[in-house]
Amino acid sequence: MTFSQSKQMLLRPQKEKRLFTFLVALFTAACLFVPYMIMSEGYFTFYGDFNVQQIPFYQMCHQAIRTGDVNWSWLTDLGSDFVGSYAFYLLGSPFFWITLLFPNSFVPYLMGPLLILKFACAALTGYLYIRRFTKTAYAASLGGLLYAFSGFSVYNIFFNHFHEAIIAFPLLLLGVELLITENRRGVFALSVAFCAITNYFFFFGMVVFCVIYFFVRLFSNAIKVKFSRFLVFAFEAVLGLALSAALLVPALNAIMGNSRITNILMGWNGITYGKEQIYLNVIQCFFFPPDLPARPVFFPEANVKWSSLGGWLPVFSMTGFFTWFKLREKSWLKRVLAICVLCAMVPILNSAFYAFNTSYYARWFYMPVLLIALATVMLTEDKSVDFGVGLRWTAAITIAIVAVIGFFPQKNSDGEIIFGLYTQSENGMYIARFWITALIALVCLPMQKLLFETLKTNRAKFYKGAIACVCLISILYGNVFIALGRTHSYEIKDVMIDSLIEGEVYFDDESEFRIDVYDGVDNTGMYLGYPTINAFHSVVSPSIMEFYDYIGIERSVASRPDTDYPAIRSMLSVKYLINRTDGDSFVDEDGKTLMPDYEYIKPAATIIFTKIRIMCRTVFRMIII
């Protein structure tokens, strides 16, 4: 098809690609998760926070709601307000409420399918927003897929509940556009309420971005807004916030005593990052598939292990970004992206997107990712655009990062000169990870060139080829990411499935008590259904924070009272200790028992981990066989 034929095609009514985009994303996401579900007897497990928070939180909250026990959760740390503790994680998520259609025993099986659905929904909402600016539905479809399978989305498989924000954000911008350009009332208020209910932490950043977005559009003369319509805009924003109050009020009450929100960046800490590698890490994350959370390979000394640093667009990387900056000098989109770059590089501005938290996070990067995807696909519709400049900049930066991190010399701990700045390991796993990631990014460079050559002669063929390539690369790097992440997990079969997801422990004891878990998996007590003093949970009742502060024990994201304070166990009614080590008792270096008044339970002796397979697991095995 020539460009003249393409132009004639544009004059005809466009057939929308909403369902097409959703189904393509659904299939692509299934290729990421289904193989690992098959390998894990129907469950999707990953590592770190996903295993020890997402799965037990979903199952525990599911059980609490189905039984009506929603006022107080004794399974959360020392006991915490249910709504306040889980509004951040899942109570506002429509995907969690879908699980209520199934029995509680099915919930761990649903984690994989829900992630597949989330990726598909992100592609759909991305499509809906981007379609406002594109001439063709295929361009919007490509943009939606780029957004849904960006490095930010794949990185945050680790944080399952972050995907709700990725889905909701395009709807918020769509609501803004419908109100200020078409005077469509009500949509913006509903989108504000949806974003606020879905996740209040991300909602704060969305509000900041929405203000920037609105005023840049206004002062760039991209929109014209009468004062009366501005009042409507403000009213609907307040109305949407009010509609979400039922969940926001208890959530805010739960976090007011959290020390993580009371500290604000000051002095030079608000102007420059204390570690220079953070700047390079921010740049790198937009040119390469994402590093594993807590297992960085590119910049090990940046100390941003859980920050959600991801922004790479599969295949197209930053080519659209550089091309837009070169060719669209006075556009509102360029100005918004320029502000995003500034915010990413200045700590106090970066922290504005997450309530000025002093910890470094990049958990708002899905916002510029959406706009970079928009810029990329809008450029593909302009036949006068030459992507050469953007591609050369992208290639130069990508190759430079590979060359420096891959070959620059340094001294190791033994004083020997070695080549490569990536994280070193004895088994060579990090070396392999670096070169696999680098190879995927490098392969996409000639792939782009071929696609842009096709765009010059056959636009329809370009879109079909681009969508296919994006899906293929997304499947490739997504599987690499998940497979490598699972290597850092506890033993999936023996520990995660048999001992925790399907594990049960029985105490012949009717008294009220808590358990203690020594050297075990975080939130083991929640998995097994017993109150415990060990809890990995970021949002608990303020009284718990006050209690640990009073007795001189640090409590940030987890309660793990040190054994140097043995009396805490007695005071908190710990009666049983689940000891997952091979030692005979819990003793110090002098052989003195640290907790002499407790009954020591060994899993092999008195704890019975049941091996009963529920019906859906049996059915699953029959299907596989």
Residue owning tokens 């003793």: 587
Over residues 502-520, the pLDDT tens digits come to 887 777 777 888 888 877 8
Which residue(s) pair with 535 in the sheet? Answer: 559
Over residues 127-147, the pLDDT tens digits come to 999 999 999 999 999 999 999
CB contact set of 367 (below 8 Å; sequence gap of 6+): 169, 205, 206, 209, 340, 353
CB contact set of 537 (below 8 Å; sequence gap of 6+): 53, 76, 77, 80, 85, 523, 557, 558, 559
Predicted pLDDT of residue 5: 44
Q: At CB < 8 A and 24+ separation, what contacts does 588-591 make?
A: none
| Beta strand 514-518 pairing with 409-411 | unpaired
Over residues 320-352, the pLDDT tens digits come to 999 999 998 889 999 999 999 999 999 999 999
Q: 10 Å Cβ neighbour count for 256?
A: 12
Residue 390: name the closest of 465, 445, 343 by CA: 445
Q: Which pLDDT band holds residue 240 (cuts at 50, 70, 90)?
A: very high
The rounded Cα 181 to chain-centroid distance in angstroms is: 32
| Beta strand 80-81 pairing with 535-536 | unpaired
Q: Which two tokens stand for residue 171?
A: 């709807």
DSSP letters, 495-515, are: IIIIIIIS--------S--EE
**Position 594 pLDDT exceeds 70:** no
Q: Which two tokens stand for residue 490?
A: 């506890």
Q: Which pLDDT band holds residue 498 (cuts at 50, 70, 90)?
A: confident
Over residues 364-417, the pLDDT tens digits come to 999 999 999 999 999 999 989 999 999 999 999 999 999 999 998 888 777 788
Predicted pLDDT of residue 113: 97
| Run of H or E including 606 | none
Predicted pLDDT of residue 262: 61
Q: 10 Å Cβ neighbour count for 160?
A: 25
Q: Which amino acid is at 276?
A: E
Over residues 57-115, the pLDDT tens digits come to 999 999 999 999 999 999 999 999 999 999 999 999 999 999 999 999 999 999 999 99
DSSP letters, 551-603, are: TT---SSEE---TT-THHHHHTTEEEEEE-SSSSS-B-TTS-BSSTTSEEEPT
Global pTM?
Answer: 0.90
* Whole-number Cα distances in Å, 547 to 30, 64, 162, 550, 571: 45, 26, 30, 5, 12
Q: Which amino acid is at 250?
A: P
The SS3 assignment for 445 reads helix
380 contacts 324 by C-beta, under 8 angstroms: no
| Pairwise CA distance, residues 272 & 266, whole Å | 10
Predicted pLDDT of residue 616: 46
Predicted pLDDT of residue 425: 72
Q: Which pLDDT band holds residue 300 (cuts at 50, 70, 90)?
A: confident
Residue 373: phi and psi, rounded to 5, are -65, -40
Residue owning tokens 């009742």: 541
**Position 225 pLDDT exceeds 80:** yes
Predicted pLDDT of residue 506: 76
**Position 592 pLDDT exceeds 90:** no
The rounded Cα 227 to chain-centroid distance in angstroms is: 38
| Pairwise CA distance, residues 230 & 238, whole Å | 13
| Pairwise CA distance, residues 445 & 473, whole Å | 12
Q: Calculate mean pLDDT across residues 244-273.
A: 78
520 contacts 542 by C-beta, under 8 angstroms: no
What is the chain's mean pLDDT, rounded?
Answer: 87
Q: Calculate mean pLDDT across residues 234-261.
A: 83
